[in-house]
Structure 1
Amino acid sequence: MQSSYLRRLKHLAHYGAGSFVSSVTHSRLEHTLGVWKLTAHFFPDWNELRAAALLHDIGHLPFSHAIERTLGYNHHELTETYIQSDEIQTLLHKAGLASDQICDLLNKQSPLTGANDVLGLDHLDSFIRDSYMLGELNGSSFDLLSTLSCTDEGISTDAQTAEWILDLILKDHQMMHSPLLKAVDRLLSEAVRLHQLSVGDDVSFLIDAQLTATLLQSSSKKAQNIIHTLLFEPSRIQVSDIFSSEGLHVKKGKVYHRLPLIQGQSMSKSRQAESHTDHLNQLRKEYEITIL
């Protein structure tokens, strides 16, 4: 937890550029520690999985997913590269673990990711944490633990708690897929793209503050204008579902389809699951962005 790779996560926004314009401002480290804590709770003797929980996100770029997909980075590949670093390998060796073990675990289905379309520990923490920051969390996350179990497939619970989790997933998606949050992620990635075209910097291991400062001083005036807008004048951002050739195109985003088990049984074929999936898919829209 004192390694440079873990400490760096304290300075990456979990919600991407959405941290500029929403109340969801927690760091990638806070999420990582949450996933680790859940892993330790359910699997106290599975040291490899607990190490994987700590290391699963170290490959993220500044502002997490905001710029990764648009610019063609793969944070999973970067995570493996960083796990093979001397610093991390030395720490793992002291704990009797090998970097290859952790990489292999992260590359296959496990309780972290969930298996066979079952909700895993990684996203469970995200949905609970995001909902808390949005002010949408009804009830205590500590009370929630008493209703959950976790197997190699992922999270299992009772019908009432499963419905509550589905509601958290939907509310989080409604925010993530809102026009403004889609717009700010796309604008940030465009600013980074323009900056890289002008100077060719590799931004992959920067922290959020470094990237922000770099863009404010970029040789690209367009990149400067975008980051200034995100920081100080987000009201200038206009989002429309009417398309022209003048603005930036925002593609349809991804949705999370994995579901908790109910008493160990899949709910994927239930009417409740079908309705939930329909609601998620309706959020996937394309937009065009301009700055006034």
Structure 2
Amino acid sequence: MLYFAKKEKGGTMNMMNQAYIAQLSGTGELWEPLWGLRIRLTEMEQRLLQTSVVRRLHFIHHNGGSYINTQHVDTRLQHSLGVFALGAYYCPDQPELRAAALLHDIGHLPFSHTLEQIEGLNHHQRTRELLYGEEISGILAAYAIDQGQILNLIEGRIPSPLRNKENRLHLDHLDSWVRSGRTTGLLQSAHALVPRISLAGPNLSTDAETADLLLRLIISEAEFHASAVNIGTNAVLLELVSVLIEQQAVSLESITAMTDNSLEALLLSSPHTQEEAQRLYYGSYPLKITRDRDKAPVDAYHATLSKLYLSLPLIDQGQVSVESLPSYPLLSGLTARLGEYYIYWDS
């Protein structure tokens, strides 16, 4: 039996009439549970949250196909709202930055970065198209917000806490690292981090102890990206979607508008991919990876890990350098993870 608070004399809260705190939209406030932030939404932000372009992100997994074998199940919208909440907290009176934070991932493809090795699929280009598309541009224009400035903030051409090109800690990566750290148990709560991070011009800055914690999160995230559960599942997904394209079962243009679920359904139903897709989704544990081509069968899948996200925290002025932090030497070994991988089924 469910029990609800009754309205009493003096106007006691009637829970039946209250908006659910964790709604994604529909109220004038956003509660962001990872960071523990409550943000008052502007009218423009409420309208952006209700667009199909932004809503679609709730059906794209933040860490690509690794959700198949891990508990990394956050969505691109959850990540975007985390970045937005941080942007609104640190820069409450900058509507362009707040809008850029909310929109920075709108171009992501199904399975996030997984499909970007396919020529013609690029989430940066798709973001530009959607930003200047009718649905988003109409809202921005109604509030005198320039798409060009939003794009420059998203791409880091205007240095800001959202993103920069100087390999400095910024909000986009910060939310990703902390989100993964919570999933893996490396970080129990993000709430205490918020007051320990501050603005230093267009950058984020923190104390030495917090900076070392962030370094450990960076290292953990890089190790995850180079792990078998990430590389293996995404390599198979990439190959299977490539087969669908080659067989003209799906077009590049239609993929850009799809969600993980809609592309999954096609993979699991198409005669070109059905058998291998079912094996991946329901029995992927025998999937192995190696860097030694001679140890993999001739029909092994191939993957290239070409990038790790290693932007460094900026330490408050007058304290130690980031190079002197205890965890800093561990960064040097991460570049060895870049390169070629071969993925196969352990029979």
Establish whether TM, by shorter chain, passes 0.5. Answer: yes
The aligned residue for residue 250 of structure 1 is 303
Offset of residue 10 of structure 1: 0.3
The aligned residue for residue 112 of structure 1 is 162
- Residue by residue over 1:54-81, the C-alpha shift from the partner in whole angstroms, topping out at 9 and shown as x without a partner, is 1110000011011123455221111010
The aligned residue for residue 130 of structure 1 is 180
Which is further off, 91-100 or 157-166? 91-100
How far apart, in 2, do the equivalents of 1:122 and 1:167 lie? 17
Candidates 95, 99, 116, aligned match of 1:47: 95
Which is further off, 61-70 or 6-15? 61-70
- Residue by residue over 1:229-249, the C-alpha shift from the partner in whole angstroms, topping out at 9 and shown as x without a partner, is 221010232322331433122
Contact 1:215 1:227 in 2 (8 A): yes
Q: Which runs of 5+ in 1 are unaligned?
A: none
1:232 to 2:276 alignment:
no
How far apart, in 2, do the equivalents of 1:193 and 1:147 lie? 45
Offset of residue 154 of structure 1: 2.2
The aligned residue for residue 4 of structure 1 is 52
Q: Where in structure 2 are the equivalents of 1:165-204 lying within 5 Å? A: 165-199=214-248, 200-202=250-252, 203-204=255-256
The aligned residue for residue 241 of structure 1 is 291
Candidates 213, 218, 225, aligned match of 1:164: 213
Candidates 147, 170, 174, aligned match of 1:99: 147
The aligned residue for residue 22 of structure 1 is 70
The aligned residue for residue 29 of structure 2 is none
Q: What is the Cα-based RMSD across aligned positions, in Å?
A: 2.0
Q: Where in structure 2 are the equivalents of 1:65-104 lying within 5 Å? A: 65-104=113-152
Candidates 266, 270, 273, aligned match of 1:214: 266
1:154 to 2:203 alignment:
yes
Offset of residue 152 of structure 1: 4.2
Which is further off, 173-182 or 37-46? 173-182
Offset of residue 269 of structure 1: 4.8
Change (3 A) 1:87 1:63: same
Which is further off, 37-46 or 201-210? 201-210
Identity, % of aligned pairs? Answer: 33
**One-letter amino acid matched to 1:283:** R
The aligned residue for residue 61 of structure 1 is 109
**TM-score (normalizing by structure 1):** 0.92
- Residue by residue over 1:113-132, the C-alpha shift from the partner in whole angstroms, topping out at 9 and shown as x without a partner, is 13422111000000001111
**One-letter amino acid matched to 2:277:** I
Question: How many residue pairs were aligned?
Answer: 289
- Residue by residue over 1:205-250, the C-alpha shift from the partner in whole angstroms, topping out at 9 and shown as x without a partner, is 1001000001112241xx2233212210102323223314331222
**One-letter amino acid matched to 2:150:** I
Offset of residue 257 of structure 1: 2.3
Which is further off, 199-208 or 23-32? 199-208
The aligned residue for residue 31 of structure 1 is 79
How far apart, in 1, do the equivalents of 2:317 and 2:240 lie? 46
Which protein is richer in helix relative to its size? Answer: 1
- Residue by residue over 1:239-274, the C-alpha shift from the partner in whole angstroms, topping out at 9 and shown as x without a partner, is 223314331222234112211111047945547575
Change (3 A) 1:276 1:184: same
Change (3 A) 1:98 1:177: same
**One-letter amino acid matched to 1:230:** L
Contact 2:153 2:162 in 1 (8 A): no
**TM-score (normalizing by structure 2):** 0.78
**One-letter amino acid matched to 1:158:** D
Change (3 A) 1:268 1:147: closer
Q: Which has the larger radius of gyration?
A: 2
Change (3 A) 1:93 1:22: same
Change (3 A) 1:241 1:100: closer
How far apart, in 2, do the equivalents of 1:38 and 1:270 lie? 28
